[in-house]
Amino acid sequence: MTAADTSAGDVLAGVGLLDRERIIARPGFNRWLVPPAALAIHLCIGMAYGFSVFWLPLSKSLGVTASTVCPELTLASALFTTSCDWRVADLGWIYTLFFVLLGSSAAIWGGWLERVGPRKAGVVSACCWCGGIIIAAFGIITHQLWMMWIGAGVIGGIGLGLGYISPVSTLIKWFPDRRGMATGMAIMGFGGGAMIGAPLANLLMNTFKTNTSVGVWQTFIVMAAIYFVFMIGGAFGYRIPPAGWRPEGWTPPAAKSTMITTKHVHLRDAHKTKQFWLIWAVLCLNVSAGIGVLGMASPMLQEIFAGSLIGLPDVGFAQLDAGQKASIATIAAGFAGLLSLFNIGGRFFWASLSDKIGRKNTYYTFFILGIVLYAAAPTLADMGNKALFVLAFGIILSMYGGGFATIPAYLADIFGTQFVGAIHGRLLTAWATAGIVGPVVVNYIREAQIAAGVAPGPALYTGTMYILACMLALGLIANALVRPLADKWFMSDNEVAALQAKTAAANAGPTGSFGIGTGGLDAKAALAWAVVGIPLLWGVWVTLRATLALFG
């Protein structure tokens, strides 16, 4: 046994299984095991995007075959009723709670996560997300909506926030040579979670459905159990590099860009800088526009192309009968699925590209190309060119997803890596804000135009697209104003060394690879990737099969 091994053993003797010091990587560890660990968590919590698959069955949880409707039901009484079925709008508040609590919990507990490490945060995330779903299952059994709100919405939402930011700082530290690609791989999983979870939920609900049950509470329990296994596996797969570690053979490029710092800003100071709020605005405006499109994608396709989707090019939406509207709704669902693929692919593509062209230039691309595509959308709709219309919105949604995946690396470039996870957590309040602003802007403009007598069709969305393009123009300005930080905001070398003292204790030297992070895609890494990759490929296959109707 070497002196280093003895020292490491002494350090770990009084350390708990979940503590940060326990997960410092040792020689022989392969850094390519960390991204699949992050994906295991993100693919599970990403089901938040697919929770709407439960709304219609839950709206018949008492009547089973048809809703038990109570005309006098209000939102307040719906929380406690045991004799009336819930309305979809009442259930939809769970979705709102998801993303409000995601942003809030990430902001509140981001600093705690940096202190305790990703393993403990991942375990707490698994307990909150899966435990919240279990509580919601009991809410269905007892028919108490308030229990579902608290369980899935509040407790589950906290799990979302902690799970979402748990790998960010760790991946950036493991991949200083490819920051964008590393975070893109993990955050891609959040976009892909619904692709796996939604069809799985449908399979389970159909399996458990009986004459007296719609099968949702049973589905919740089974999915919570599956997710818990995956998330705990992911949490225990996390390792952090020792202070001073760098990839073998890699040296930081000398002054590659003034936009990439080698110093670190403390969490307590990040929000005091104008750069933080400019990047906050960049994310908020990009996401607001993307969420606006995502929320209206299905009705937009139906109302713009109407009968042409089923071979009746001269028939408008208002002229379709109920059966024809059902047919085009199925096709529109395929369109939504196709957009989800662009959303997922964009997270990896744009984040990886940002490693080559820089984070600021990537966001310039988002905003300039986005303005062109949003402004051109009404023209493409008037032309009746379905393929170009779908392609334009696919690119738009790829940039929506790419914005999420690129922002952690952008923050690391500006603020350094020491507190990037916690800073990212605070920045996610921009997402919570965008989740309100985007849908509200789109829905109110649409309702105002309908009230003004605008018939369903391209004209109904023209004003909306131009307003969203203006939001992107504001984002373009905010991005242009981002500059490197002044020296006064960075911590001294002594402060950084003190913060890194615990992880430095197991080091074999002041800097270098220490025999850590090597191995590439060896057998162990290949197995880890297969565990998360096979379910993801299944979700992609199911989605592609559903989208065939769009062009079939």
Residues 6+ apart with CB under 8 A from 237: 33, 34, 36, 37, 40, 528
Report the pLDDT averaged over residues 30-47. 95
pLDDT category of residue 9 using cuts at 50, 70 and 90: very low
- Secondary structure (DSSP) of 412-424: HHHH-STTHHHHH
pLDDT greater than 80 at residue 2: no
pLDDT category of residue 7 using cuts at 50, 70 and 90: very low
pLDDT category of residue 11 using cuts at 50, 70 and 90: very low
Name the residue type at position 398.
Answer: S
Q: Is pLDDT larger for residue 127 or for residue 71? A: 127
pLDDT category of residue 525 using cuts at 50, 70 and 90: very high
Report the pLDDT averaged over residues 96-112. 90
pLDDT greater than 70 at residue 5: no
**Confidence (pLDDT) at 350:** 95
SS3 265: strand
**Confidence (pLDDT) at 298:** 66
**Confidence (pLDDT) at 330:** 67
**Confidence (pLDDT) at 531:** 95
Based on its alpha-carbon atoms, the radius of gyration of the chain, rounded to whole angstroms, reads: 24
Q: What are phi and psi of 505, to 5 degrees?
A: -65, -30
Report the pLDDT averaged over residues 324-350. 80
For residue 65, what is the DSSP state?
Answer: S
> pLDDT tens across 528-552, in order?
999 999 999 998 888 888 777 666 5
Residues 6+ apart with CB under 8 A from 370: 286, 289, 396, 399, 469, 472
Report the pLDDT averaged over residues 298-323. 74
Q: What are phi and psi of 240, to 5 degrees?
A: -115, 145
Q: Is pLDDT larger for residue 29 or for residue 308? A: 29
Q: Of 4-18, 85-99, 242-256, 409-423, where does mean pLDDT reach its minimum?
A: 4-18
Q: Of 94-103, 190-199, 241-250, 327-336, where does mean pLDDT reach its minimum?
A: 327-336
Report the pLDDT averaged over residues 185-190. 86
SS3 147: helix
pLDDT greater than 90 at residue 30: yes
pLDDT greater than 80 at residue 524: yes
Domains of the chain, first to last: 29-241+519-552 (1.20.1250.20), 256-491 (1.20.1250.20)
Closest to 146 (Cα-Cα) out of 162, 157, 135, 156: 135
**How high does pLDDT run on average in the chain?**
86
Report the pLDDT averaged over residues 324-348. 79
Is residue 158 within 8 A of residue 225, CB to CB? The reply is no
What tokens appear for 35 in the block?
């991204």
pLDDT greater than 70 at residue 257: no
Q: Is pLDDT larger for residue 326 or for residue 374? A: 374
Report the pLDDT averaged over residues 153-168. 94
pLDDT category of residue 229 using cuts at 50, 70 and 90: very high
pLDDT greater than 70 at residue 505: no
- Secondary structure (DSSP) of 462-528: HHHHHHHHHHHHHHHHHHHT--PPPGGGBPPHHHHHHHTHHHHTT-SSSSB-TT-S---S-HHHHHH
**Confidence (pLDDT) at 510:** 60
pLDDT greater than 90 at residue 264: yes
Is residue 536 within 8 A of residue 47, CB to CB? The reply is no
> pLDDT tens across 436-445, in order?
787 777 777 7
**Confidence (pLDDT) at 508:** 47
Residues 6+ apart with CB under 8 A from 486: none
Distance CA 549, CA 333 (A): 9
pLDDT greater than 90 at residue 414: yes
pLDDT category of residue 511 using cuts at 50, 70 and 90: low
pLDDT category of residue 307 using cuts at 50, 70 and 90: confident
pLDDT greater than 90 at residue 49: no
Distance CA 154, CA 98 (A): 7
**Confidence (pLDDT) at 552:** 58
Is residue 479 within 8 A of residue 215, CB to CB? The reply is no
**Confidence (pLDDT) at 81:** 92
pLDDT category of residue 453 using cuts at 50, 70 and 90: confident
Report the pLDDT averaged over residues 382-394. 82
pLDDT greater than 90 at residue 371: yes
**Confidence (pLDDT) at 515:** 82
Largest CA distance in the chain: 82
pLDDT greater than 80 at residue 357: yes
